[in-house]
Each structure stands twice: as structure tokens, then as C-alpha cells.
């Protein structure tokens, strides 16, 4: 039987590579296929290695079986990618399968896109240098065709120094709103439309992209009318694309920026797909190369962390609000929310260019429109401060946003604390904010497991400094928090307490600090963690190994800052060294009992740390909300105090006062 199989495989190979009875040399591919076919199947492979991981979209309806993204390990060279693809083709041919390499990637990651039977997967995951394989899946434009009352926005005429790359459908460049403002690139990677009766009229194919481009830089309806837009088509006429196509689009942009450097640059991603590790990685790598990425949160009334690229922490993810500045929602459709959303923006009936004719306008709603709105605001900010990093830009966006305008009751209960209550607006014309201002934001982790001493982690973005770490538990059962360093990055680690329902870690992440900061722990349990001379204390943390934590004493400030700890607990101090930074404590200790105690830093001061001081009441934890330190209590009869650490650049304000 084995000889029959070998003969059949050889016959297949003869037709595949046109082997003839001559002295002509075989190619490397042909030699590899021949050698693998002639191997004795009864012998095990010489090399045994663990299988690579395999991932697929959690949304079954969005999966694309038979098309796979093969991601190589870090440090893999291009020639190793090519050899891996050839080896996979040879192994598949040995079993009688044909595969097709559709795309290779060499930008944000090294790998290739392959079309093959799922029966070949078990061979693919065994290949050397393969880190993981991800099944391709669909992505979708995030506009909702509702017929609501129009809203007229206030726009700015700016952004001329900024280039925007728009990954969307095609764009009607002859529309008067965007004529001479949009350049259509030669990139096009879209799947076939679903169904056999799809009519590809230009107005249909250009609908989403034309409207989005108009929101960014339209003559009358654009937020940043001076910004130029480059159209990179990754969505078909139905507003549908693929993860692999989006990856190819990002790689195209990277290649374009290498050949013709432009800065500052914004990449607008007005689509979502299911969670994709590969797409998130590619986005993260682009941000690390000084590109700003802005994405739609998604229109599924769901947790944005379940979708990509919305879930990537380095991407600025935008949710949508309606005319009343409340989360956009109708029935089962509406904006995604949660800790992966960075900011909200208008997304309800936004007026912009229509692809029906060169002078037509229409209204569209959704997180695509909200993301385009933020891309326009970002272009205005980058025009003012073109050297701002993505992290600094986000801090500026949040600084200019309208805070605490969203009714918390309109958010799902499990996302009320972690969803940012901020709606983006254009900066005031009198604003003097620049990239060197001390600005901070709170980053929440996911909730930990409910078992005792379970941990969860919050991290800052690339370019941000963690100036404090706190934790929060709904029922007050927590074991505190600590700061660890992993791969050179600080992590705020919160620990669930005995009988806890899960705990959150809350990192205070800042830019513009101009300081060298470090986290110092106490020498022993129960002892203070003290900052060195000439350092400023920006925040305190404490943790317990017993599963329960009592909130620390008041941290002393003076020539040196220190963080005390109760008996049996470790304390941690965030200490920053700079001659220009000054920090001080501000405390609110109400005389009566209250379920929530707050204290805010004054104007010109920035909240860097937040603590609760218990007088006997149980403390659920403390967290920063804007420039306010918020402490929740879980009951008791002696009250709780809230302690804020407020910092600012001393020299900046001294020079300002002397003018």
C-alpha cells in the first residue's frame, strides 16, 4: 500500500513541477518536496518541538476557515519566513494537499497569509520559528444608518501639518467637500461581496469612506479642514474586510512612511473585528514607531475589549455619544464601552459628504463617525504640537474633554467604574497646553478572579510613567496592591482579598513629568518605604500576604516623602527625582459618615496619587477620577478620609507668575 501512495504522490508532483527526464536542476522548492515525499512515513520526524498556539475569532459568524495568518517569532529573518512557507507547502504536498501563500508580512511582524485546508493545521503549528497561527476573520465598518435629527458641530479650520491615513472603503474624491484633500493610494485588499446580486455602484462602494473622510477634513463639515487624507482601501462595497487585509494595509502605510517620511501622522481605523492578537500587535508596533492610531470602539453594546483593534491599549479607542452626550444606543445596537475605551465623541447623526453626488450631504451615526471626529481633533492638536507622542496626544485629548457629563446610570453596571466619563472637544483658542505639561489619567485593569489572593494588572502606555498604584473592590475585600517590573515596564498589581468578589488595579499614568521615577518598597513588613533626598513622593501603595489589608496611615511629606504600612504589610513609594517637580498632600476628612469621600487638586496642580485613610470603616479602595481622588467605604461608624497627592512643575509656574 505504501508503494501505491508513493507512486500517486510522485505522479502528483510530476504534474506540479513538470519533472522531465533531463539533466535540468531542480529548484530549492522542488528538491524539498521531492525529499519530503520520498521520506519513509514509518519513521518519526528527526526534530520534535512543542506546537505553536492556534487562535480563532470568538465571533463564529465572522470566522474565515481555510485562511490563516502564520506569525513568526521575534527575530525571525525574511529568508526564514520564506523557508517556513516552502516547508509548509512541501509537507502539505506530501499529504496530497495544495496550499496558496496569499501575502507575506515583514513590517510590524514577520509572517505570511496562507489559504489551506484545516487538515494541514496540525503540520503548520509544528513548523520551526512559528510563534502562533491565527485564523483570518472579518472586520466591519462601524456606521449605523439611523434617521435622527441633524446636529451641527462646531469645527476648526486647521491640521495642515498633519497627514491622515484612512483604512476604509473607497472614497469619492470628486466630492466638493474633499476634492484636492484626499489622495487615493494604489492599495486595495478587500474580499468579494457576499451574495450574487451585489451591485457595485460607485455611490454604494464609496459611501462609508466618503462620509468618514468628510468628517475628518471636509471643507464645510470637517473637524480639521487643513488635514490631508490618504485613502487605503480595506473594506468592500458592503463595508466588510478581513484582518489579513487590514494587516496588509498597515504594512503598506509603514512602507510608504519609510520611503516618504511624514510627521505627524494619524492612522484612522473606523472598523472592528473580533479580538485579534495579530492585529493588535501590528497596531502596537506602529504606535511604537511614532504613529498615532485612532480606532472605533464598535457598535455592539458590548465590552470594547472583546474587539480589535479597539482592545489594543496603545490605540486611542473612541466610543460614541448621542445629542445629549449620553452613550449612543438603540435596541441591541450602540456604542461599545468599558476600560478599553479611552474617550467618547459625537457619533449621532453626523453631517458629512454623501457619495450620492458631488454636492450631496447625508447623516451617519456610529463609532466610525466618533473616531473620525477624534481624528480631526487630534490633527488640530498635533498641528499645535507636532512633536507630541501618541501618549502625550491622548493626555491632551483628555485634558480638553468635557468630564463627568455622561450619566453613569446609562452605562452597564459592570462597566460604570471603568468606562471613562469624558467627551472629546476641540481645544479652547486660549489654551496654552503643550506636550511638556504634567498630565495624568487612570488606567483600570480587568477584574481579577474571585479566589483569594488572585491578582490583576494595569499597565501604562508606551511613553507614560506610572506615578502611583491603587486598588478597588466592590465589597472591600482586598489584599492591597504593589508595583512590579516586567520586561522593563512597571505594572500595578492588585490582590483580591479573602472573601472578595474580585479586585481592580488602577494605575495613575502620566506624561510631561520631566522626572526620573522609581518604585521603592519598605525594608521589612510594617516599615515605611522612604524616598531618597531630592525626590518627590507621588504616590503610596501597600499590600498584605494574609489576604486582608488595612489602609495605611497618612503619608508624611517634607524634605523626604515616605509611605507607612500597618503591621504585617509591605509599603511602596513612588519617588521622582527632578528639580522642577513639587508635590503636596491634600486631605478631606468629613466629620460625618459618607459612602464616598472625595478630594480634588486645585487648578495648576495634577493628581498623581490617591489613598483612603480608614478611621474604622471598611475601605473598598481609592482611585483617581480626573483630578479628584475618590474613596468608597463599605460601612462602619468612624468614617474615612481621602488623601490626594498633587504635583506640578514648580519652575514653570514660578516663571509664569513673574510675567
Q: Identify whether 368 is a catalytic site residue.
A: yes
C-alpha cell at 93: 504536498
Three-class SS of residue 586? strand
Paired sense of beta strands 316-321 and 343-346, if any: parallel
Q: Among this protein's residues, is 158 annotated catalytic?
A: no
- The counts of H helices and E strands in the chain are 11, 38
User: Residue 211's closest CA among 380, 323, 362, 359?
Assistant: 362
Assess whether 594 carries a catalytic annotation. Answer: no
Strand, coil or helix: what is 284? Answer: helix
Q: Where are the beta strands (DSSP E) in 358-447?
A: 361-364, 402-403, 422-423, 439-444
Specify the 3-state DSSP secondary structure of 613: strand
E strand or H helix at 518: strand 516-521
Q: Note whether 282 and 247 are within 8 A (CB).
A: yes
Length of the chain equals 659
208 vs 222: CA distance, rounded Å: 15
- Give the active site residue among 136, 168, 349, 437: 168
**What sign results for the dihedral spanned by CA atoms 212, 216, 217, 218?**
positive
* 43 strand-pairing partners: none
Strands (E) across 412-566 are located at 422-423, 439-444, 455-459, 465-473, 478-486, 489-496, 503-511, 516-521, 529-530, 535-544, 562-563
| Beta-strand pair 265-269/163-168 | parallel
Per the structure block, which three cell numbers stand in for 236? Answer: 468592500
Rounded to whole angstroms, how far apart are CA atoms 621 and 495?
12
Read off the C-alpha cell for 416. Answer: 460604570
Write down the catalytic residue from 110, 175, 208, 513. Answer: 208
Which of the residues 368, 389, 473, 614 is marked catalytic?
A: 368
Q: Are strands 110-115 and 63-72 parallel, antiparallel or unpaired?
A: antiparallel
Beta-ladder partners of 443: 507
Catalytically active residues, by annotation: 168, 208, 368
Amino acid at each position: 500500500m505504501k508503494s501505491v501512495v508513493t507512486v500517486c504522490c510522485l505522479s502528483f508532483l510530476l504534474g506540479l513541477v513538470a519533472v522531465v527526464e533531463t539533466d535540468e536542476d531542480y529548484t530549492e522548492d522542488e528538491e524539498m518536496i521531492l525529499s519530503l515525499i520520498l521520506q519513509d512515513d514509518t519513521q518519526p520526524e528527526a526534530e520534535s518541538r512543542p506546537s505553536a498556539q492556534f487562535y480563532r475569532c470568538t465571533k463564529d459568524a465572522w470566522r474565515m476557515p481555510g485562511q490563516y495568518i502564520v506569525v513568526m517569532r521575534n527575530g525571525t529573518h525574511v529568508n526564514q519566513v520564506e523557508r517556513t512557507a516552502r516547508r509548509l507547502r512541501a509537507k502539505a504536498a506530501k499529504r496530497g494537499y495544495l496550499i496558496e501563500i496569499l501575502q507575506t508580512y515583514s513590517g510590524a511582524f514577520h509572517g505570511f497569509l496562507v489559504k489551506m485546508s484545516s487538515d494541514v493545521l496540525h503540520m503548520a503549528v509544528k513548523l520551526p520559528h512559528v510563534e502562533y497561527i491565527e485564523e483570518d476573520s472579518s472586520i466591519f465598518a462601524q456606521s449605523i444608518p439611523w434617521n435622527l435629527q441633524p446636529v451641527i458641530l462646531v469645527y476648526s479650520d486647521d491640521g495642515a501639518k498633519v497627514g491622515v491615513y484612512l483604512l476604509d472603503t473607497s472614497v469619492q474624491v470628486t466630492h466638493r467637500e474633499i476634492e484636492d484633500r484626499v489622495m487615493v493610494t494604489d492599495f486595495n485588499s478587500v474580499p468579494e461581496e457576499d451574495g450574487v446580486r451585489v451591485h457595485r455602484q460607485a455611490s454604494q462602494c464609496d459611501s462609508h469612506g466618503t462620509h468618514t473622510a468628510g468628517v475628518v477634513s471636509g471643507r464645510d463639515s470637517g473637524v480639521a479642514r487643513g488635514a490631508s487624507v490618504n485613502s487605503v482601501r480595506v473594506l468592500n462595497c458592503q463595508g466588510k474586510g478581513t484582518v489579513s487585509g487590514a494587516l496588509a494595509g498597515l504594512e503598506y502605510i509603514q512602507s510608504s512612511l519609510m520611503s516618504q517620511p511624514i510627521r505627524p501622522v494619524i492612522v484612522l481605523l473606523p472598523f472592528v473585528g473580533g479580538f485579534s492578537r495579530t492585529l493588535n500587535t501590528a497596531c502596537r508596533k506602529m504606535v511604537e514607531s511614532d504613529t498615532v492610531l485612532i480606532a472605533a470602539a464598535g457598535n455592539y453594546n458590548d465590552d470594547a475589549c472583546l474587539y480589535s483593534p479597539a482592545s489594543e491599549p496603545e490605540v486611542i479607542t473612541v466610543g460614541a455619544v448621542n445629542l445629549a452626550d449620553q452613550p449612543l444606543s438603540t435596541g441591541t445596537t450602540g456604542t461599545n464601552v468599558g476600560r478599553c475605551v479611552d474617550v467618547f465623541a459625537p457619533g449621532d447623526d453626523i453631517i458629512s459628504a454623501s457619495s450620492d453626488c458631488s454636492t450631496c450631504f447625508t447623516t451617519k451615526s456610529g463609532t466610525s463617525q466618533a473616531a473620525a471626529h477624534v481624528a480631526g481633533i487630534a490633527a488640530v492638536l498635533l498641528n499645535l504640537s507636532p512633536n507630541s507622542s501618541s501618549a502625550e496626544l491622548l493626555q491632551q485629548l483628555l485634558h480638553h474633554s468635557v468630564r463627568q457629563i455622561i450619566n453613569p446610570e446609562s452605562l452597564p453596571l459592570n462597566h460604570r467604574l471603568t468606562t471613562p466619563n469624558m467627551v472629546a472637544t476641540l481645544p479652547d483658542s486660549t489654551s496654552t497646553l503643550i506636550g511638556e505639561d504634567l498630565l495624568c489619567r487612570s488606567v483600570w485593569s480587568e477584574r481579577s478572579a474571585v479566589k483569594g489572593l488572585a491578582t490583576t494588572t494595569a499597565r501604562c502606555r508606551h511613553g507614560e510613567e506610572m506615578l502611583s498604584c491603587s486598588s478597588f473592590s466592590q465589597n472591600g475585600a482586598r489584599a492591597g496592591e504593589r508595583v512590579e517590573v516586567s520586561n522593563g515596564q512597571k505594572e500595578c498589581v492588585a490582590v483580591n482579598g479573602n472573601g472578595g468578589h474580585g479586585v481592580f488595579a488602577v494605575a495613575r499614568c502620566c506624561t510631561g513629568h520631566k522626572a526620573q521615577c522609581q518604585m521603592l518598597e519598605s525594608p521589612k513588613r510594617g516599615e515605611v518605604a522612604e524616598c531618597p533626598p531630592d525626590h518627590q513622593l507621588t504616590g503610596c501603595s501597600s499590600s498584605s500576604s494574609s489576604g486582608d489589608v488595612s489602609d495605611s496611615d497618612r503619608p508624611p511629606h517634607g524634605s523626604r516623602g515616605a509611605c507607612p504600612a500597618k503591621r504585617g504589610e509591605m509599603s511602596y513609594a513612588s519617588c521622582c527625582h527632578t528639580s522642577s517637580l513639587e508635590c503636596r498632600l491634600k486631605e478631606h476628612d468629613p466629620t460625618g459618615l459618607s459612602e464616598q469621600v472625595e478630594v480634588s487638586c486645585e487648578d495648576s496642580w495634577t493628581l498623581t496619587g490617591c489613598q483612603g485613610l480608614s478611621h474604622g470603616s471598611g475601605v473598598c479602595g481609592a482611585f483617581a477620577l480626573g483630578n479628584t481622588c475618590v474613596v468608597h467605604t463599605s460601612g462602619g461608624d468612624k468614617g474615612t478620609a481621602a488623601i490626594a497627592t498633587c504635583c506640578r512643575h514648580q519652575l514653570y509656574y514660578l516663571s509664569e507668575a513673574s510675567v
